[in-house]
Chains A and B, each alone.
Chain A
């Protein structure tokens, strides 16, 4: 699972990034990651970017709604909730364990 990727050795991690393409939707609760790219419809991508989700920005999944969707992110000192459908189109690099 994506949540374990931080334990992978570097080579495996590269393979993982290229093949598995982890997204925000794959992150475990509480896990931090860095945004790689956003591939939603233009207006949604633009809105997400204008709200501060840009390649290189650090995000963290802080909560999952009681029914499993949407999820709540922590980004640039505020909380934003998005549906899994959108989150799945935001590619990330999970942060290594601190």
Chain B
């Protein structure tokens, strides 16, 4: 029965916000491994735990309110529960919302699987004055009920003992006897033979549970692997029932809840109810005025953290990368190998870990908001706005984070429950003007708008403001359009539990943030590293011997001249920069830039900008250092005067200047709209689970960028701008 005898799988299931993951982490001590369910991007977190007599594998199942499934993602939980490896399920129930939690526990018991109910948050229940007779619940559900406080690690030993007890059972405990209406029982008996064909060998209890599940889940679903005969039978039974004025869904669910209400009323009492603290906190946090103020402050803090707090760490990583590059360059002989290691591999690793500070910070923040219960209030407060463009209220934090960096922002979309809503958000948010675009804006503004004014503002400030405004408008429009075209479907509904406020555990916040970072480093990191090496190769090869020989002769000439050492060094540096520029021009990327020129001219760019755009795929700010090489200036940044000068002096073949205010705006619009960021591609690949989504993202943003720049440049010319 169990292919991996000795390590039976114990599933940890429960409602969202029931403290399921906290319990999982408390039991596993943070030793968990995160994998992926095949085909979909739902994390499968497992950990090995030693009981007194054997080892078991704990599996953290995605949070759910019921076993009813509508999508392949929801089906995962169901699949896991009926898998032969599953030997027992720990159903985590929040003791303060007993009925809803027990609904899931009842469904699990009906399917015949051994269940241990972990009655979590008993401390909160006691504070509310609630008394629960666990023995009665245990008897009626046919499952041990163990009170626990996961955050304080109370009751864990008793829980594991109960699990071990279930593993030692020789014969299954009978499922609770819930009696459905006679008409529904008749429907079930028609489905039973079909289920028996689908799942031969299942016990009669399991068969009955699958028949119930089918009646409740099938029809208008996108579930996999369900036989057509069963589907058709369910459809017919449902239509027949509806024609008679019956509602099978209601019959099943209402019968279950009636049974639960009866058990709960016998097993629990609250002689002296106390008002909850959450109510009072919410009176402030979702207040029409204070609510919005608190909301703005919290969002500003996230923003500030991503922009400012992360900066020293990012600078440190960049400095370390540069130092390591210098060290290695000094200790390896010049040549392709040195370049590959310095410009390809070390730069690539640097490109990956440079995101670590923002990812850690954002996930610590989101973890805090989520575990404290405020994230649900964020969605509650802002949903009205997000609804207008077909997004879920929970899309707000990822979108806002997009102003800092799309990488952590895309990863943050996993707080959105439905995959479709998650994809729409993920595909629109790279249009938010991230911080890596700013150096490009500053370079362009400094080059073409230096000292210019528009009315009583500086022209540069107006241009920057316009870029950020445009970015918000385009992002929301793109979300609305993608929702209506590529990913049509029912508008996202907003059914969100507002969990009670709780103080999060620092340890769990850290474990989760670290887990997210590790997934990024491994999964997206390898793609980013590979693309960095590829880009390096495109910008470096083929190398021209002719150019190399000519410049080494010139350097030899300089060495023979009788010059002051500083003067000689300056000349050699200038020669090196010019050599790099010439080599770049005839590399694959340089040739590609030239080949692109006919396409780039209508939007106001030339081949040099084209090469810069290719280089910028590594990261947008690399545009500047690539231009530095193209123009033979060497090391440079956005404040660099020689680069601005070189850009101003650059001429098209017909003698007209390349960088004008109009082509500058066109360039900014291009950078705003284009997906010039391989790390975004890599992280969307990781989070969407398929290459087709990053491919679509890149394609639509490139088309959008070209169209935008074309309209700006050609439109501007029509109105007589230069």
Contact = CB atoms under 8 A, between A and B. Distances in A.
B39 interface: no
A63 interface: yes
Nearest to A78: B97
B721 interface: no
Contacts of A69: 383-384, 387
B494 A52 contact: no
B294 to A, nearest CB: 10
A72 B383 CA distance: 12
A57 B279 CA distance: 21
B246 interface: no
A83 B384 CA distance: 9
Contact of B68 (A50, A56, A77): A50
B384 A68 contact: yes
B220 A42 contact: yes
Interface in B245-269: 249-250, 253-254, 257
A80 B286 contact: no
B98 A77 contact: yes
A77 B97 contact: yes
B495 A78 contact: no
Contact of A80 (B381, B383, B497): B497
Contacts of B328: none
A54 B249 contact: no
B186 interface: no
A80 B103 contact: no
Given A54-B253, A82-B494, A82-B495, A77 B99 contact: yes
A88 interface: no
A46 B495 contact: no
Contact of B496 (A48, A55, A80): A80
B65 A67 contact: no
A70 B497 CA distance: 12
B75 to A, nearest CB: 14
A48 B253 CA distance: 10
Contact of A67 (B220, B287, B384, B495): B384
A68 B292 CA distance: 12
Nearest to A75: B100
A55 B257 contact: no
B276 to A, nearest CB: 10
Given A54-B253, A66-B286, A78-B97, A41 B490 contact: yes
Contacts of B291: 66
Interface residues of A, number: 34
A31 interface: no
Contacts of B70: 43
Given A76-B100, A78-B97, A86-B495, A50 B381 contact: no
Interface residues of B, number: 44
Interface in B432-463: none
A49 B254 contact: yes
B236 interface: no
Contact of B495 (A42, A47, A77): A47
Contacts of B216: 46
Contacts of A76: 97, 99-100
B282 to A, nearest CB: 7
B498 interface: yes
Contact of A65 (B99, B219, B384, B493): B384
Contact of B380 (A44, A52, A55, A65): A65
Contact of B383 (A42, A57, A70): A70
Contacts of A62: 279
Given A63-B282, A70-B380, A80-B495, A52 B257 contact: yes
Interface string A58-98: 00001101111110100011111111001000000000000
Contacts of B330: none
A20 interface: no
Nearest to A80: B497
A17 interface: no
A66 B499 CA distance: 18
A25 to B, nearest CB: 13
A51 interface: yes
Contacts of A68: 384
A26 B62 CA distance: 35
Nearest to B385: A67
Interface string B372-386: 000010001111110
Contacts of A45: 249
Given A70-B494, A76-B100, A63 B286 contact: yes
B719 to A, nearest CB: 39
Contact of A77 (B96, B254, B380, B382): B96
Contact of B253 (A49, A80, A86): A49
A67 to B, nearest CB: 4
Nearest to B97: A78
Given A68-B384, A72-B380, A44 B495 contact: yes
B66 interface: yes
A81 B96 contact: no
B200 interface: no
Contacts of A79: 278, 497-499
B163 to A, nearest CB: 26
Contacts of B380: 65, 70, 72, 81
B292 A66 contact: yes
A72 B249 contact: no
A49 B495 contact: no
Contacts of B288: 66
Contacts of A56: 254
B495 A48 contact: yes
Interface in B218-264: 219-220, 249-250, 253-254, 257
B693 to A, nearest CB: 24
B100 A86 contact: no
A42 B393 CA distance: 22
B490 A46 contact: no
A27 to B, nearest CB: 17
Interface in B93-119: 96-100, 103
B257 A54 contact: yes
Interface in B12-33: none
A49 B288 CA distance: 30
Most buried by A among B96, B98, B249, B278: B249
A14 to B, nearest CB: 22
Nearest to A86: B493
Contacts of A51: 65, 100, 495, 497
Interface string B504-539: 000000000000000000000000000000000000
Nearest to B101: A78
Contacts of A86: 493-495
Contacts of A42: 219-220, 249
A35 to B, nearest CB: 11
6 tightest Cβ-Cβ pairs between the two chains A and B: A67-B384, A79-B498, A78-B97, A50-B66, A49-B253, A66-B288
14 contacts: A42-B219, A47-B495, A50-B68, A50-B103, A54-B257, A62-B279, A66-B381, A67-B381, A69-B383, A72-B380, A76-B100, A77-B99, A78-B97, A80-B496
Given A47-B493, A65-B381, A76-B99, 7 more contacts: A42-B220, A43-B220, A43-B490, A50-B65, A52-B257, A72-B380, A79-B499
